[in-house]
Structure 1
Amino acid sequence: MGIVLNQSLKNTIITYIGFAIGGINTIYLYPVFLGATYYALSNYIVSSANVIMPLFAIGMQNTLVKFYSQYQTDEERSRFLSFTVLFPLLLIIPFILIGLFYYDEILFFVSKKNPVVKTFIWLIPIIGVCMAYFEIFYAWLRVHMHSVFGNFIKEVGLRSASLILCIGVYYNWISVEGFIYATAVVYLIALLITMFYAFSIKKPVFQFTIPENAKGILEYTFYIILSGSVANLLLDGDKMILNQYMDIKNIAYYSVATYIALVISVPSRAMHQIVYPITAKLMHENKHDEMDALYKKTSINLQVVGGFVMLGIFVNINQLYEMVPPEYAGGIIVVFIIGLSKYFDLILGNNNAIIFNTKYYKTVLILGVLLVILTIGLNMIFIPIYGIIGSAFATLLSITLYSLAKLLFVVKKLELYPFTKQTGHSIVLTLFLFLVFYFWEFPFHPIISIILKSGLMTIAYVYLNYRFVISTEINQVIDTLLKKLK
C-alpha cells in the first residue's frame, strides 16, 4: 500500500486542515458573523446544490475512474476524457431550461415556510454545475494518481475562501447577502483552477465521439447517478426537508452538529481518493485475495483512526458547545446520533469502491433508492414531532440500514469480509475510553479543558492500540517514527 499510504496520509492531513478551518467557520464565524438565519440560508443553498450535483455530473466522475484504466492507447483515453467532460451538458441544459420554465412553481414550493430563500434560489443550479464539473476534473486528476491537489482545493481552498469572506462581513467589506453571492463565485473559481491543473497533467483533445463500449458506460452511469443521488440525499437531504417544516434557523443549529459529527468520516474521505482507482484495477484484474486483504486493511485502519476522532469529539462535546451561542446547545444529541452513523459507515472500509466496480452494483443502488424514500418518509414523520433530533434519528436509521445492506451484499456475493477479531477489540477499547473520559471534567476554560482531556485521551488511545496491535500497519508507522526519534 505504498502509494495508497503516501497519498492517503497527505490527503488525511490536508482534509483535517480543511476541517479545522471549517470548524472555526462553523463553530464561531458563521453563527457570530452571519447570524443563524443567513448561516442557515447559506448552508441550505450549498446543500441543495450538492443534492442536485449527481444529476448534473451524470455520474461521470465515477465512470471516468472505473473505465479509464481499461483503455489501452492514448487516443482511446483522450476520446474517453472528452466524452466525460462533454456528455453531462446533454442533461444540464435541459434541466436548467425546465427549471426556468417552472421557476415560479419551484420558488413557491421551497419558500412557503421561509420566504428569505426566494432571492437566492437561482444560485443553487449555478453552484450545482460548478460542483459537478469540479468532481469530473478531480476524477481526471485521480486516474493519473494526482489526488492531493484536488483534495487541497476541495477541503482547504473552499473553506479558506469562506473564512476570508466571513472576515469581509465582519469588517463590512461585504454584506451577509453578498457573502452568499460570493460563495457561488468561490465554487466557480475552484472549478476553473482544478480544470486548468487537470489539463496541465493530461492535455485534452476535445472531440465528442461515442466510446466503443458506450452501452456499458451509459448503463453504469445511470446507476451511478442513482448512487450519487442516494449518498448526497442521505448527507444533505435532511436540511432541505427541515426548510419545509421548521424555521430556517434550525438548519443552522443542525448544521453545526452535523459538521462536528462529519469530522469522523474524514479518514474515509481521504483514503477513498486513492483507494478507489486501485480497487477498480484489482476488481478488473479479478485479484480476489489482494482485494480481500485491501478490504480488511482499509476497514481496521479507518476504524482505528476514525474511532480516535469520534472519541475526541464525544468526550469533549460539552466543552465544544460552551463556545457557541446557547441556542445551538440542542444539537449535542444530534452529534452523538450522526457520529455513530458515520462511525459504522467508516468501519466498512472501501465497501463502496468494491460494489461500484462489480456487475452487481445495480441491485444495491436500487436498494439505496428505496432507502432514500424511507429517509424522506422518516424525516417527514419525525421532524414535526422531534425537530432536529428527529431528523438525526431518521438519518441514523437510514444510513445504518443502507450500510448493512451493502455489507451483506459484499459478503454473500463476493466472499469479501472486512472484519477481523481486531474489529471487536477496537470497539471495546473505544467504548472503555469513552466511559473513562466523558465524565471526567476539568474546571478550566473550555479550550484548556479540551486540550488537557484530548492529550490524556490520545496517550491512552495510542498506547492501548499499539499494545494490543489493533492495526499492524499503524503499528509499523509508529515504529518508524520511534526509530527516527531515537
Structure 2
Amino acid sequence: MGIVLKQSFQNLITTYLGFGLGAVNTLFLYVNFMSDTYYGLVSFILSTAFILVPFLAFGVQNTMVKFYSSFEGEDQDRFLSWMLLLPLFLIIPLTGITYFLHQQIADFLSSKNEIVAGYVWYIFIIALSSAYFEIFFSWSKVQLKSTFGNFLKEVFHRLGVTLLLVLLAISAIDVDTFIILTVVIYIVRMIIMMVYAFKQRRPLITFSRKRANTTSKLDVQRTSIIKYSTLIIIAGSVATLLIDIDKFMIGKYVAIENVAYYAVAIYIATVIGVPSRAMHQITYPMVAEMLNKKQWSEMSVLYKKSSLSLLVISGLLFLLIVCNIKSLYLLVGPEYATGLYVVLFISASKLLDNCLGINNAIIFNSDYYRIVLVIGVVAVIVAIILNMILIPALGINGAGVATLIATVGYSVAKLLVVQSKFKMQPFSKNSLKIFGLIIGVFCLCYFWDFNLNPVVAIALKGSLITIGYLLISYVFKLSMEINIAMDKVLNIVKKRD
C-alpha cells in the first residue's frame, strides 16, 4: 500500500486544490459575474461534450491500463502506438457527421433553448481534446506516474477558468470570448499532457513483428483488445451518462438557467467523490496487474482497506456538506437553493459509491465487465426514462431523484457481481460501525443550526463535526490506514513543538 498511499495522498491534495478552485468558480465567480442563462449554457456545453468523450476515446484509456502489463519489450511499444491510432476509427466518421449534419444537430440541441444552436463545434472540440487527454493520462498511469496528470485533470482547467472569470468580472472579455478561451484551455491541457506522457515513454511508431514468420503476443490478443475497447466505450458511456445526462436533459426540457442551479448542487455533492477519484488514479493499474498475475489474496486485502479508508473520509465529507448545506445556500443565493434536495440525493449516492473501494477497478479490468455493461445500459435507460418523467413534473429535484435511483441501483449491481464472481466483498464489522457513526452525527447535527453569519456558522459547525468524527474514528480504530496517517500527522506536530 506504500505507493498507493503516497500517490493517493498527492492526488488527493491536487484534486482538492482543483475542487477548491472549482468551488470558487461555481459558488462565487459564476453566480456573481455571469448571468444564469449563460452559466447554464456553459454547463450544458461541457456536459454534452463529456457525454461524447467515451465514444471519441474508443475506450482506449481503460484498454491501455488493462492490457499494458501483459506485454513486454517491443510488444509494449507496438501496443501503445496502436492505442494512439485506434480512436481515429470513430473520430474521423463522427467529425464528418458533425460537418454534414451540423444544422440538424444544432436544431436538436436547441429545441428548448435557442441559445445552444451556435455552439455545436465548441462541444465537439472540447470532447475531442478531453478524449485524447484521458488517453495520454493513461499512458502516464501505466508507468505509475499519475500525480502530474491528476494536476492537469483536476487543477489546470479550473485555474484557467478562474482567470477567465476574473477577466469577465472586470469586463476585460465578454461571454463569447470566455467560451472560446474555455475551449482553448481544454486544447492546451491535452497538449501538455501529451508532452509529459511522451517524456515518460517515447512513442515508437512501429508495427513490424520482431522476426519474420513469428506471431507476437500482441497479434494474438489484438481481437480481444478490440472487443474490450468496443465494450468499454459502453462502460465509459454508462459512467458519463449517469453523471451528465441529467444536465443535458434539463436543458432539453426546462429553461437553461435551471442547468446552472443543478450544476451548483451537483458540484457541491461531487466533492464527496474526490477521495475515490484520487485513489483510483493509482489503484487501477495495480489492480490490473494483480488480475493478470492472479494475486487474489492481495487484491482482497486492498479491496477491504480501500473501502474502509474511503468510507471514513467520504463519510466526514458527507456530513460536512449535508449538515451545512442550508448555511451554504445562504451564501450562494436564494435562487440556487432550489437545488438543496438535489445535494442530499446525490451526496447519498456518492457516499455509497465510495464505500465500494476498488470495486470498479476489479470489474473493468476483469473478464466480467460485459455483465456490468448490460447492467449499466439498463441503469442509463432507467435514468433517461425517469428524467423524462420527473424533470417536467419536479424540475431539477426530479433529475436528482432519477440520478439517485439509477446510480444506487448500478452501484449495488456492481457490488453483487464482484461478490458472485470473485467471492470478495469490501465490508466488515468496522463498515457497520462507520455507517452507524455517520447516521448518528447526521441525526444530531442536520437539524441543529447556529443563528450566526453563514460563514461563521459553517466554520463552527464544521469544526465540531470534524473533531468529533475523527476522534471517534481514531479511538475505535475504524480504519487502520486512516489511523496510521493521523499518527504521522501527530508525530510531525509533536516534532515541531
Identity of aligned residues (%): 46
User: Equivalents in 2 of 1:253, 1:207: separation in Å?
Assistant: 50
CA contact (8 A) 1:257 1:334 kept: yes
User: Equivalents in 2 of 1:209, 1:420: separation in Å?
Assistant: 51
Matched, 1:200 2:204: no
Cα 1:395/1:208, change in 2 over 3 Å: farther
CA contact (8 A) 2:62 2:232 kept: yes
User: Equivalents in 2 of 1:453, 1:190: separation in Å?
Assistant: 38
Look up the match of 1:485. 493
Q: Deviations over 1:119-169 (max 9, x none)?
A: 112211111000000000000111111100010011111111000000010
Look up the match of 1:19. 19
CA contact (8 A) 2:346 2:400 kept: yes
Look up the match of 2:190. 191
1:443 Cα offset (Å): 2.5
User: Equivalents in 2 of 1:332, 1:325: separation in Å?
Assistant: 12
Cα 1:31/1:208, change in 2 over 3 Å: farther
The partner residue of 1:388 within 396, 404, 415 is 396
CA contact (8 A) 1:12 1:266 kept: yes
RMSD: 1.1
- Give secondary structure in 2 for the equivalent of 1:456: helix
Look up the match of 2:102. 103
Look up the match of 1:475. 483
1:114 Cα offset (Å): 0.1
1:385 Cα offset (Å): 0.6
1:191 Cα offset (Å): 0.3
User: Equivalents in 1 of 2:119, 2:365: separation in Å?
Assistant: 38
1:414 Cα offset (Å): 0.9
User: Equivalents in 1 of 2:27, 2:487: separation in Å?
Assistant: 36
Give the alignment's TM-score, normalised by structure 2: 0.96
CA contact (8 A) 1:65 1:277 kept: yes
1:17-416 equivalences under 5 Å are 17-73=17-73, 75-207=74-206, 211-212=218-219, 213-416=221-424
Cα 1:40/1:207, change in 2 over 3 Å: farther
- Give secondary structure in 1 for the equivalent of 2:107: helix
The one-letter code of the counterpart of 1:57 is: A
Q: Figure out how many residues of one structure are paired with residues of the other and give that number.
A: 485
- Give secondary structure in 1 for the equivalent of 2:34: helix
The one-letter code of the counterpart of 2:93 is: P
Q: Deviations over 1:350-394 (max 9, x none)?
A: 111100121111111111112111110110011111110001000
User: Equivalents in 2 of 1:209, 1:264: separation in Å?
Assistant: 47
1:209 Cα offset (Å): 6.7
1:479 Cα offset (Å): 1.9
- Give secondary structure in 2 for the equivalent of 1:121: helix
Look up the match of 1:464. 472
User: Equivalents in 2 of 1:432, 1:398: separation in Å?
Assistant: 26
Q: Deviations over 1:438-459 (max 9, x none)?
A: 2332222211111111111111
Q: Deviations over 1:249-297 (max 9, x none)?
A: 0000000000000000000000000000010011111111111111001
User: Equivalents in 2 of 1:136, 1:65: separation in Å?
Assistant: 10
CA contact (8 A) 1:378 1:394 kept: yes
Look up the match of 2:214. none
- Give secondary structure in 2 for the equivalent of 1:122: helix
Cα 1:181/1:427, change in 2 over 3 Å: same
Cα 1:208/1:36, change in 2 over 3 Å: farther
CA contact (8 A) 1:83 1:209 kept: no
Q: Where has structure 1 moved over 4 Å in runs of 4 or more?
A: none
Unaligned segments of structure 2, at least 5 residues:
210-217
User: Equivalents in 2 of 1:64, 1:310: separation in Å?
Assistant: 33
The partner residue of 2:431 within 390, 414, 423 is 423
CA contact (8 A) 1:158 1:190 kept: yes
The one-letter code of the counterpart of 1:348 is: L
1:76 Cα offset (Å): 1.4
User: Equivalents in 2 of 1:350, 1:206: separation in Å?
Assistant: 34
Q: Deviations over 1:335-356 (max 9, x none)?
A: 0001101111110111111001
CA contact (8 A) 1:295 1:417 kept: yes
Look up the match of 2:450. 442
User: Equivalents in 2 of 1:433, 1:208: separation in Å?
Assistant: 59
The one-letter code of the counterpart of 1:447 is: V
User: Equivalents in 1 of 2:46, 2:371: separation in Å?
Assistant: 30
Q: Deviations over 1:95-120 (max 9, x none)?
A: 11012222221111110110000111
- Give secondary structure in 2 for the equivalent of 1:140: helix
The one-letter code of the counterpart of 2:35 is: G
**Which deviates more from structure 2 when the two are superposed, residues 446-455 or residues 382-391?**
446-455
Give the alignment's TM-score, normalised by structure 1: 0.98
User: Equivalents in 2 of 1:70, 1:26: separation in Å?
Assistant: 42
User: Equivalents in 2 of 1:231, 1:127: separation in Å?
Assistant: 18
CA contact (8 A) 1:21 1:163 kept: yes
- Give secondary structure in 2 for the equivalent of 1:419: coil
User: Equivalents in 1 of 2:27, 2:490: separation in Å?
Assistant: 35
Q: Deviations over 1:373-419 (max 9, x none)?
A: 11101100111111100010000000011111111111011101100
Q: Deviations over 1:32-59 (max 9, x none)?
A: 1111111111111111110010000000
User: Equivalents in 1 of 2:409, 2:447: separation in Å?
Assistant: 31
The one-letter code of the counterpart of 1:65 is: V
The one-letter code of the counterpart of 2:51 is: V
- Give secondary structure in 2 for the equivalent of 1:349: coil
1:474 Cα offset (Å): 0.8
Unaligned segments of structure 1, at least 5 residues:
none
CA contact (8 A) 1:314 1:438 kept: yes
User: Equivalents in 1 of 2:159, 2:295: separation in Å?
Assistant: 41
